[in-house]
Chain A
């Protein structure tokens, strides 16, 4: 009798799919740091954007004394206000060896592979500072890192918050009021219009395209992003993940985003996840995958916060049957209207994610 029980318990099991393995893994939390030390074999990848906070992680790392390597991602089209000159000066002053790599926002295909070639000789830790990176770039970088033999071993994400995040509540409300009276009025804040829905083959899903498509998106203050995704991709189903800002002062944004995007006119299911704690987004994506991947082709548009995008990148690094689609903004508003100041710096070690991939 005992024999039977033992056998039965032994076999009452399932094979864990890759998403279930990822769901089952403990996930590190994002850690606030005041300073962190990098070694001479370590490499910091950062983006020369125009926000003040793009310097936050570099400055924090420079508080440690050992020189490290820096890879500066330069954006095309070039924005004069970006901070590449300051970054270069800081590297020179601090005796850091640095190299530059260009990321063409309007033609980003294959960037992950190029970056891997650039950091191939890095034998220490790799820190990816996502503070100034575009959403698509974040996903490309993380998926590229995950594809290495060593996967995410010795990799971390670094992130600097800003002190203030425009637009203000009053600005948004006044534009929403205008929208009510003029249906063709464009509510624009940080970016305007959509250049195209960008697809990069390395983030494409090769599975046979039967069944319907589900778009998983993070509605934002730029309604054109969702409009373009709907128009170009015509998905059958929608899942929207609403960002919950860590600071309750910004809680008004969720409702404003609903109004600007007229979400009440789109049949969808709603989910919420912190804009800072990436684990909530990752769990949400894993739940959606478990529910729908058997019957639907999943499209994910990483239009949420930077840390939500990190979750998308980690998710896509494990699940290559998910298609990434990204509404590349046509233009950005004046850099002076962007985030202000440098807030808390965070570090997220990614080593744990190598296990599920292996």
Chain B
């Protein structure tokens, strides 16, 4: 009873009656049973906790037996280091004058605060890592308590201490949970014995209430829900094992807690199965279904060797060409999910990052005028990428090198805190990568908040990390373990494309991504060469071939004449057709047939005669592909739909299953659909369609009315590209349209070769699948030669361009037109 407590002030400065070396120096707290004081012994140079309990508050058994004594000493049988034990010797403290008739329980003094204070100080900001760490400690303790038949009886937030261990202990974690007041409840007169599991549930509830669910990562949300829905709602409060096998089983509960990570990893998307070979056209649709991604990923992808090389690489190519699929497939997360992360096969640690995230955090980014705001994006990206790396690295290391990882984790975490320049929070568990990751998540949030006020001089920005932190942290991590040394980190940065990731933002982040160091390499995918900025905000222009290699997949596919492209396409279809059980067709040849005929001149003459040719067969699918494999899959899907779908394929005895005429019709319709969608895709979509159409009409008129003069037999002029004669110097609006054409890959820029005037000027190749739509051939021989001002005309006034260049009869020489031959 609180009423029995003597005046606390009387004890200050007093020496313990039978331990005169200990002097009471400070009241720590007072409860219902007694007071807790901090005592100090000069001779031992250490502090002690002295719990003073009035005798009237102690339970006395029959015949005056001091049953309380055994209760408080019961916990001394426990070996768990979380337990704060009382000294075996319990002394009386009596002073009639002061009205004191107490006993004093002496234990080690635990520096730090109790959980109650901790919660009060961290309202809404308790991390899931902290909660998990707490629950692990408690379940581990409960396990031993169960084995030894010990109960606490009064677990509450005031009895859980968050200990700050002395800085001179270099071996153990600095912060740990401790549990005090074992047996005190049972020993005192209130005898308010409380069930330990119920109390633990209540503590868990108090902690979870202070976790911000929306601020967490997906993994933290998953952890929160498991702790909330399983541990709090089911396991801890249940007593009946027939209803809940986990009830009152600390060992099982501990294992369940340890297994949350594996449970999170086990999730294999929505369990999507490929029911139709043409579903999941792109990587984004596949989402987190890693096994599906694996089954659809082809390692015959052109350019894979360049991407996997130990260089910084910028990969560009039309949308749907598989950049994301490859990047994601090479990430350690994916490899772990599909069981391909064996150490022997892991040459690098791949971390996938999609820049949509940057777009959300830094829309329309411009270089801020305040110098202190310059590095906000660097801070954000460093936090994001490092958090991603820490997460996958930890899981991979625990799976394959658990012992070494556990032994060294704390040292590495301390190193990381140091590199990040952040004082770790005073919490148990901070010397783990998980806590570092949680902090990085907070830093991300801070960076986005700072960005909102980047231009507001009234708001402070705070310190931001420099461009070296990511590299240093990665180096520290991989170099700290014998198993990760010599393995670099590859960051696969997907969709690093202007305008979403503005050029200004790129110029800030390139200071990280263009560094050449042995521990980190950056693989950037970008929609087109014009969506990538190769400079940085310090004025440094990064050089292709030195700081980075450019892999233009559009060009790789355009120029492939080794049939690798067809082999890749066939492999992709084989995987898809085989992935669907009992699908009536197993390969592309069976579906669309083979049409190896390649006489473009004859095709052109046929177009002249009959206005169009019939395009069909797998070779033509390959011809249509500018790398945009997703388009080819979609096209074949439309062909199958056009013949009545899977059921009709099953019944059909035709070879190929899809007739040539249907194939041809679908090829043209899909191109039309592309143009329709292009209209709505961006601000100038209508204009882009007009430009493409004007070029297509002019090119078709050339084919119909002009002959190639440098070829035997003077075949029709077959041009599906523009060849500027001189370097372009476009006006602002025209340049913007030019960039959009490249961004949406209506044209693909070919930087190889020189113009007829010997100038190194990129040519513009029409996207391959638009070629039949405009009744052209796949012949790559000819081009439409244009002066820069005519390209300006095409871009700004496509109707005038068409009027100027369209042929309406046999060669009409025009004074202002360049000769073709």
* Residues of B close to A234: CB separation below 8 A: 282, 284, 356
Against B, the Cβ 8 Å flags (1 = close, 0 = not) of A172-210 are: 000000000001111000000111101111101111111
Question: B286 to A236, Cβ gap below 8 A?
Answer: yes
The residue on B at minimum CB distance from A205 is B360
Q: Are B357 and A209 interface neighbours, CB within 8 A? A: yes
User: How many residues of A sit at the interface, in one of the four size bands?
Assistant: 35 or more
A224 touches B205 (CB 8 A): no
Residue numbers in A under 8 Å from B362 (CB-CB):
201
B676 partner, pick from A17, A185, A212, A235, beta carbons under 8 A? A185
Contact assessment for B680 and A13 in the assembled complex, using a CB-CB cutoff below 8 Å: no
State whether B388 touches A7 (Cβ < 8 A): no
**Please, how many angstroms separate the alpha-carbon atoms of A225 and B364 in the complex?**
20
Q: Contacts A206-B215, A208-B441, A212-B284 known; A14 to B233 CB distance under 8 Å?
A: yes
Query: Roughly how many angstroms separate A224 CA and B685 CA in the complex, as a whole number?
Result: 10
A107's closest neighbor in chain B, by CB?
Answer: B364
A233:B356 contact, CB within 8 angstroms = yes
- Distance of A201 Cα from B208 Cα, bound (Å): 28
A207 to B287, CA, bound (A): 17
Does A59 count as interface, using CB distance less than 8 angstroms? no
The answer to whether A15 and B683 have CB atoms under 8 Å apart is: no
CB distance from A108 to the nearest CB of B (A): 10
Cβ contacts under 8 Å, B218 to chain A: 207-208, 210-211, 294-297
Interface members, chain B 685-703 (any A CB < 8 Å): 685-686, 689
Q: From A184, A196, A267, give the contact of B683 (CB < 8 A).
A: A196
CB–CB A8/B239 < 8 A: yes
List the B side residues contacting A186 at CB < 8 Å: 676, 679-680, 686
Query: Does A71 belong to the interface (CB within 8 Å)?
Result: no
Question: Which chain B residues numbered 358 to 378 have a C-beta less than 8 Å away from chain A?
Answer: 359-364
Q: CB of B225 within 8 A of chain A?
A: yes
**Bound Cα distance A272, B683 (Å):** 30
Query: Contact at B388–A210, with CB atoms within 8 Å?
Result: yes
Q: How far is the CA of A193 from the CA of B673 in the complex (A)?
A: 16
Q: Is A293 an interface residue (CB 8 A)?
A: yes
A209:B384 contact, CB within 8 angstroms: yes
**Assembly CA distance A346 to B239 (angstroms):** 53
Is B236 touching A201 in the complex (CB atoms < 8 A)? no
Name the segment of A60-68, A90-98, A162-170, A317-325 touching the other chain.
A317-325
Task: Given the known inter-chain contacts A15-B228, A186-B679, A208-B444, please indicate yes or no for A235 contacting B452, CB distance below 8 A.
Answer: no
Q: Once the chains are docked, how many angstroms separate the CA of A323 from the CA of B772?
A: 41
Instruction: For the complex formed, measure the closest distance between the CB of A146 and the CB atoms of chain B, giving whole angstroms.
Output: 13
Residues of A within 8 A of B500 (CB): 232
CA distance A196 to B669 in the complex (A): 27
In the complex, which residues 431-466 of chain B have their Cβ closer than 8 Å to any Cβ of chain A? 441, 444-445, 448-449, 451-452
**Cα distance A254–B284 when bound, in Å?**
28
A109 to B452, CA, bound (A): 9
**In the complex, how many angstroms separate the beta carbon of A257 from the nearest chain B beta carbon?**
15
With A223-B680, A224-B680, A235-B284 as contacts: A204 and B225 at CB distance below 8 Å: no
| Chain A residues positioned under 8 Å from B441 (CB to CB) | 207-208
In the assembled complex, how far is the CB of residue A268 from the closest CB belonging to chain B, in whole angstroms?
11
Q: Which of A206, A232, A233, A293 gathers most chain B CB within 10 Å?
A: A206
The interface centre, meaning the residue of B357, B360, B388 with most chain A CB atoms within 10 A of its CB, is B360
A294 to B264, CA, bound (A): 10
Minimal beta-carbon separation of B269 from chain A (angstroms): 8
Interface of B is mostly: helix
Instruction: Evaluate contact between B201 and A231: CB separation under 8 angstroms.
Output: no
Question: Is A213 part of the contact surface with B, judged by Cβ < 8 Å?
Answer: yes
Q: Do residues B673 and A183 form an inter-chain contact, with CB atoms below 8 A?
A: yes
CA distance A4 to B240 in the complex (A): 11
Q: How far is the CB of A126 from chain B (nearest CB, A)?
A: 23
Min C-beta distance of A253 to chain B, whole Å: 20
Contact A184 B689 (CB under 8 A): yes
Question: Bound state CA distance, A58 and B202, in angstroms?
Answer: 52
- Most B-side CB within 10 Å, residue of A10, A235, A295: A295
**Complex alpha-carbon distance, A208 and B218, angstroms:** 7
Give the residues from 300 to 325 in chain A that come closer than 8 angstroms, CB to CB, to chain B: 319-321, 323
Report how far A14 CA is from B710 CA in the complex, Å: 81
CB pair A193 B287 closer than 8 Å: no
Tell me, in angstroms, the Cα distance from A193 to B222 when the chains sit together.
39
- Determine whether B237 belongs to the interface, using a CB cutoff of 8 Å to chain A: yes
**Beta-carbon contact of B215 and A321 below 8 Å:** yes
Contact residue among A7, A233, A295 (Cβ-Cβ distance under 8 Å from B267): A295
Of B216, B285, B449, the contact of A267 (CB 8 Å cutoff): B285
Q: Which residues of B contact A198 (CB under 8 A)?
A: 363
Q: Is the CB of A207 within 8 A of B217?
A: yes
Verify if B279 is at the interface (C-beta below 8 Å from A): yes
C-alpha gap A29/B574 in the complex (Å): 56
Residue of A nearest to B634 (CB): A265
Interface string of A1-45 (1 = CB under 8 A from B): 000100110111111011000000000000000000000000000
| Size class of the contact patch on chain B | 35 or more
B238 at the interface (CB under 8 A from A): yes
**A227 & B677 in contact (Cβ 8 Å cutoff):** yes
Known: A18-B214, A207-B216. A110 touches B452 (CB 8 A): yes
Asked if A295 and B677 make an inter-chain contact with CB atoms under 8 angstroms apart, the answer reads no
CB distance A201 to B237 under 8 Å? no
Contact A207 B215 (CB under 8 A): yes
A109 x B363 contact (CB < 8 A): yes
**Cβ-based interface call for A83 (8 A):** no
- The verdict on A88 contacting chain B, using a C-beta distance below 8 Å, is no
Q: Is the beta-carbon distance between B681 and A201 smaller than 8 angstroms? A: no
Question: Cβ of A227 and Cβ of B681 under 8 Å apart?
Answer: yes
A284 at the interface (CB under 8 A from B): no
Do A212 and B288 contact each other (CB < 8 Å), given the known contacts A193-B685, A204-B360, A321-B215? yes
Asked if A271 lies at the interface with its beta carbon under 8 angstroms from chain B, I say no
For A293, list chain B residues within 8 Å (CB). 221
B123 at the interface (CB under 8 A from A): no
B209 contacts partner chain A, Cβ-Cβ < 8 Å:
yes
Does B558 belong to the interface (CB within 8 Å)? no
Is B198 close to A, CB under 8 A?
yes
In the bound complex, residues from chain B placing their C-beta under 8 Å from that of A231 are 677, 680-682
B229 within 8 A of A: yes
Please give me the residue from chain B that is nearest to A192 by CB atom. Answer: B686
Contact of B287 among A7, A8, A212, A227 (CB under 8 A): A212
Q: CB-CB < 8 A to B279: which residues of A? A: 267
Q: What's the Cα separation between A294 and B792 when bound, in Å? A: 50
Nearest B residue (CB) for A331: B683
Task: State A232–B495 Cα separation when bound (angstroms).
Answer: 10
**Chain A residue nearest in CB terms to B201:** A11
Contact, CB under 8 Å: B228 / A14 = yes
Residue ID in chain A nearest B267 by CB atoms = A295
Check A287 for interface membership: any CB of B closer than 8 A: no
- Interface pair A237/B225, CB less than 8 Å apart: no
- CB-nearest residue of chain B relative to A204? B360
Find out whether the CB atom of B236 lies under 8 angstroms from the CB atom of A204: no
A237 to B287, CA, bound (A): 8
Residue positions of B touching A, CB distance < 8 A: 195, 198, 201-202, 205, 208-209, 213-219, 221-222, 224-225, 228-229, 232-233, 236-239, 267, 269, 279, 282, 284-288, 333, 353-354, 356-357, 359-364, 384, 387-388, 391, 441, 444-445, 448-449, 451-452, 499-500, 669, 672-673, 675-677, 679-683, 685-686, 689
A to B CB contacts below 8 Å, 11 in the list: A11-B237, A14-B233, A18-B214, A193-B679, A194-B680, A201-B451, A210-B219, A227-B677, A228-B682, A236-B284, A296-B218
Closest 10 CB pairs of A and B: A224-B680, A212-B287, A236-B287, A11-B237, A209-B357, A199-B363, A227-B680, A208-B217, A183-B672, A321-B214
User: Which A residues form the contact surface with B (CB < 8 A)?
Assistant: 4, 7-8, 10-15, 17-18, 107, 109-110, 183-186, 193-196, 198-202, 204-213, 223-224, 227-228, 231-237, 267, 293-297, 319-321, 323, 330
Other A-B pairs beyond A205-B360, A231-B677, 18, CB < 8 Å = A7-B198, A10-B198, A13-B232, A14-B232, A110-B452, A183-B673, A199-B363, A201-B452, A206-B449, A207-B215, A207-B216, A208-B217, A208-B387, A209-B356, A212-B269, A212-B284, A227-B681, A236-B284
